[in-house]
Structure 1
Amino acid sequence: MAVTLRDVARLAGVSSATASRALDPSASAATETRDRVMAAAAELGYIGNTVARSLRTSRTDTIGLLVPDVRNPFFTDLAYAIDKAATEVGLTVMMGSADEDGDAQDRYLVALERHRVDGLLVVPQGGPRPMLQRIVRAFPTVAIDRDADLGVPVVSSDSGGGMRALIDHVISLGHRRVAVVAGPQSTSTGRERLSAAREQLREHGLCLAPGDVVEGDFQLGSGLRAARTLLAATPPPDVIIAADALMALGVLTVLRERGLRLGTDVGVAAFDDNPWFAVLDTPVTVVAQDTARLGRQAVEALLARIAGREVEPSPVPTTLVVRSSLGEAARHGDPHFTPAARTKEDIHG
């Protein structure tokens, strides 16, 4: 027997009208009420009328794509790759950018529900929020980049392998004091990259002290703040690793403000590549993700789910791109190279 809106309202202890408003992020509802109603809908597996109609009709040849922040170069490239892969198989992509905000994610999910997309590709914001849980019960869904325990296939890069390769490279250059601008620990990618850095440093007999890690949010501002915090330490780090390109840009900006030489005074590396990283005076060493392959694999996985087939995607390999921002040029010319000696005044400006 189908679950109705009245069932949801009864479980949540509200009227049907209140439940309807709470399930519509564009309508007014108290936060506590909205959370209670969404939790009830998720528990009962409620599918709204719009979704129920879509399940009874033919395909629309449209899929939804929800990314956290279209300003982030990685997600821009990923969205492009997904659109190209979808076009090749006759699909149209409707995209939303949630700005790393769970409430914005909910609003876009409702919009995609109303447009009756055939399936959904989503980079989840944080954990398994009630609205997202409800939607994945109603639509074939594939998660990309982040695993939010939704019980759906996850297409992602081998973040752990990429970070381990980067740490090995950093240590091979003679660096010992490593700091990390970590991604948000509410995301699986943020946790995986930081955990891999810790574990691989331990393999080399080193560790990340509490002051060597600053949690960011995969956006520029947090990279700026993290760099200022890390460079205030005594002694400052030899190397700062940023868990994404935007936070790396923040670190590079602070180094430039303080007149510090990239790769000589402080080494910087990033997880994620960007075209302009290669054309800086000191090109930036990165762990590059294969966005084209991620996009193709995500679309293929979603098509399988739409067809009712189970899929278990394998992590997409990453590539360590060695340039000069960790002092590689100096190391190449001198087999006994060690990071340049620096005073507190040099670093703090």
Structure 2
Amino acid sequence: MTSDRPRPATLVDVAARAGVGRGTASRALTGSPAVSPGVRAAVLKAADELDYRPNLAARSLRSRRSGSVALVVPETEDVVFTDSFFSGILRGVNAELTDAGLLLVLSLPRTDAQRHQIERHAVDGHVDGVILISAHDTDPLPAALLAAGVPVVTAGRPSDGTMPSVDVDNRGGARAATEHLITGGRRRLVSVTGPQDMSAGTDRVTGWRDAVAAAGLAVTPDLLADGGFTEEGGHHAMRQLLAAVPDLDGVFVASDLMAAGALAALREAGRDVPGDVAVVGFDDRPLARHLSPPLTTVRQPIEDLGRGATRLLLGLLAGRPTPAAPLVLPTELVVRESA
């Protein structure tokens, strides 16, 4: 026997009536600053027309605090536990959570099943919020968390600007690194880049382009090679650039880890650094001081990045308004022997 009682409107119904996605509708109804006033008005109008009522049981569940926060890093265990960048982020996040009396839950999802597990864990209220680091544009988890109403922030600017975030001045740091090469007399400049589906990768390429173009030098696709933010990738990318641009004399490498691989490739090719080729990295990780030669690089405040993202999430949990634009931390050029 079927009932003639109309089905209550859902969030999906509201989104369809307003002509937006489910995640946008959720953010509009929860007052997210990432939603424009026009879109918010359309969603609220649709909700009123459909007599939409949020799931009060789910809202009650989300209002209970678990006393823990998840740090979600979609990288392998080998990367996270051997890379000083992630240990710096962890120190910053854990310090702020400890001061706030909260526990840190670390998750390293790499598969769809693992991402779904984290989503369910967060949606069911087992953590109070999520801090994302090293997320790629193609990762479906951030949008799923937002759509479910989970408080989430990112350490690193999301390319679509949908989440509160803390970032470093990747573009300005890359520009300063490249200008240092140009000031040192280098004119055939190339770059080993990070992944172009991450804002850190794209912003550092943009900074390199800014400086090269301002100096009136060539900016062509063959001057760039993606090293994937790994040492092996940096080695492969440097070999690719040497083959494509044999007269290169300056390299901006978008991470110190890739720079270690790039320096090895230059040695194998018989190129002296900095005599034949000057090299500048990015991060100022501990390994930068111990490379041969010691690496000129851009220092980013890694621990402060973790602290800043955590403070942003704590503010969100406390009901404080989040900044409409990412918080951006400064970078600093550190000059050593490689350039």
Q: Partners of 2:331 and 2:260 in 1: how far apart?
A: 20
Q: Partners of 2:93 and 2:206 in 1: how far apart?
A: 29
CA spacing shift, 1:280–1:190, aligned 2, 3 Å: closer
Q: Which residue of 2 aligns with 1:55?
A: 62
Amino acid at match of 1:314: L
Q: Which residue of 1 aligns with 2:88?
A: 77
Return the match for 1:268 from 279, 285, 293: 279
CA spacing shift, 1:193–1:89, aligned 2, 3 Å: same
Q: How far did 1:98 drift?
A: 4.0
Amino acid at match of 1:67: V
Please list, as runs of the form range in 1=range in 2, the aligned pairs for 1:174-323 lying within 5 A after superposition: 174-312=185-323, 313-323=326-336
Q: How far did 1:103 drift?
A: 6.9
CA spacing shift, 1:204–1:78, aligned 2, 3 Å: same
Q: Which runs of 5+ in 2 are unaligned?
A: 1-7, 28-53
Is this contact kept in 2: 1:51–1:116, CA < 8 A? no
Amino acid at match of 1:232: A
Q: Describe the superposition over 1:304-339 as per-residue Cα deviations: whole angstroms up to 9, x where unpaired.
A: 11112122253000111110101xxxxxxxxxxxxx
CA spacing shift, 1:140–1:172, aligned 2, 3 Å: same
Q: Partners of 1:60 and 1:303 in 2: how far apart?
A: 13
Q: Which residue of 2 aligns with 1:66?
A: 72
Q: How far did 1:171 drift?
A: 0.7
* TM-score normalised to structure 2 length: 0.76
CA RMSD of aligned residues (A): 3.0
Q: Which residue of 1 aligns with 2:130?
A: 120
Is this contact kept in 1: 2:178–2:252, CA < 8 A? no
CA spacing shift, 1:280–1:309, aligned 2, 3 Å: same
CA spacing shift, 1:157–1:44, aligned 2, 3 Å: closer
Q: Secondary structure at the match of 2:307?
A: helix
Q: How far did 1:129 drift?
A: 4.9
Q: Partners of 2:125 and 2:174 in 1: how far apart?
A: 39
Q: Partners of 1:303 and 1:128 in 2: how far apart?
A: 27
Q: Which residue of 2 aligns with 1:25?
A: none
Q: Which residue of 1 aligns with 2:146?
A: 136
Q: Partners of 2:254 and 2:113 in 1: how far apart?
A: 24
* TM-score normalised to structure 1 length: 0.74
Q: Partners of 2:230 and 2:101 in 1: how far apart?
A: 34
Q: Which moved more, 1:241-250 or 1:105-114?
A: 105-114
Is this contact kept in 1: 2:208–2:252, CA < 8 A? no
Q: Describe the superposition over 1:92-144 as per-residue Cα deviations: whole angstroms up to 9, x where unpaired.
A: 11112346x77754544444445621111112632275542231242111111
Q: Which residue of 2 aligns with 1:36?
A: none
Identity of aligned residues (%): 31
Amino acid at match of 1:55: R
CA spacing shift, 1:108–1:50, aligned 2, 3 Å: farther
CA spacing shift, 1:158–1:106, aligned 2, 3 Å: farther
Amino acid at match of 2:126: R
Q: Partners of 2:165 and 2:66 in 1: how far apart?
A: 24
Q: How far did 1:200 drift?
A: 1.5
Is this contact kept in 2: 1:102–1:125, CA < 8 A? no
Q: Partners of 1:154 and 1:223 in 2: how far apart?
A: 28
Q: Which moved more, 1:155-164 or 1:83-92?
A: 83-92
